[in-house]
Amino acid sequence: MKKFFKIFIWVFVSILFVGTFVYLYMNSRTKEEVYEIVYPTKDNLERSTVITGKIEPRDEIDIKPQISGIISEILVEAGDHVNNGDIIAKIKVIPEEAQLSSAENRVQVAQVSLQEATQNFERTSQLYEKKYESREKYESDKAALERAKLELSQARDQLTIVRDGVSSGNAQGSNTLVRATVTGVVLEVPVKVGSSVIQANTFNDGTTIAKVADMTDLIFKGNVDETEVDLLREGMDVKIAVGAISDSEYPAVIEKIAPMALDNNGTNTFEVKAAMKLDADTKLRAGYSANAYVILESVKDAFVVSESVVGYDGDKAFVYVLKDSLPSQKFDKVEFTPGISDGLNVQIKKGDLSVKTPLRGNVISK
């Protein structure tokens, strides 16, 4: 029994040793890979780029007051259509004490002058009727009376303007009425009733009462990388896709490419503007995010090969051409001159390749 047990142990150890040796040997052998065979083809090839940006009105006008004061009434809200000259808001004037006091004093002085001129004219008129005063004196005092009346009228008008912001002779054209200066859509009303506003001056741009733009004249504004800007040109057609509108595609034409680069997080980019061609029924909103798709280069009936089989060594491109398939696949490295690429296929501009040339593709078995 003991002898049998010993024999069993030796047989088991031998089998384990041989099995381990065979396993290590099989794993140490080089595995032969089998590749898919592909061929060059003819196809239309386009190289395109995407410019990210947004939709903006060509002209966005800030409506500002012509007088300082407090908003007493707002007659429009965002989205309203206004015509040139429409009243947008009304302003209540808060006069400065010094200006108000000066205007009141001017009225008082004008009243005194008018009273004096009236008395002088009445006295001269009585003497002139009795032939005790000359006609020249009579006409001189009469003119002085008219000037005094005019001065009082101007002083009162000035007081009204300082106190109320309204001229008694031009109430419709009052500076307290803020009017639209263009025809378009109100984009924003950044003030509320009760807000203090100031007119534009040397030291301040003034308060914006509303922003108005013509929403029928829109442009796309985006930035393109410096590596692609030289491939763009003014007048080039582009297609605009608005992110908020599914399956949208609007035609546009590049009308401006910035001559100077902008530093965009360490990358040089150039601003591009494209005029959008919209139908009368098309409604877009200012500020929509959008992408402009531009075809940079295109080739008809190009001789192409899949990018997945192309290798690159610096500026050189190459593929592996099948030379023998028995007993195993053998490939030769062949260089060619590449053309444009759309990311999936690359053009073969020059090289010893044809549509019948078998090329090494992806690994299909090992």
Gyration radius (Cα) of the chain, Å? 44
pLDDT value, residue 173: 46
> Does pLDDT of 162 surpass 70?
no
Structure-token match 């002088």, residue found: 120
- Output the pTM of the full model: 0.61
Between 251 and 9, the more confident residue is 251
Identify the residue whose tokens are 């019948």: 356
- Give the CB-side neighbour count of residue 94, counting CA atoms within 13 A: 11
Q: What pLDDT digit, counting tens, does each position of 113-143 carry? A: 888 888 888 888 888 788 778 888 888 888 8
> Are residues 53 and 288 in contact, defined by beta-carbon separation less than 8 angstroms?
no
pLDDT over 90 at 280, yes or no:
no
Nearest Cα neighbor of 199 from 67, 61, 63 is 67
d(CA 190, CA 265): 31
Report which of 15, 147, 50 is spatially closest to residue 342, judged by C-alpha positions: 50
pLDDT, tens digit, for every residue of 71-113?
989 999 999 999 999 999 988 876 666 666 777 778 788 888 8
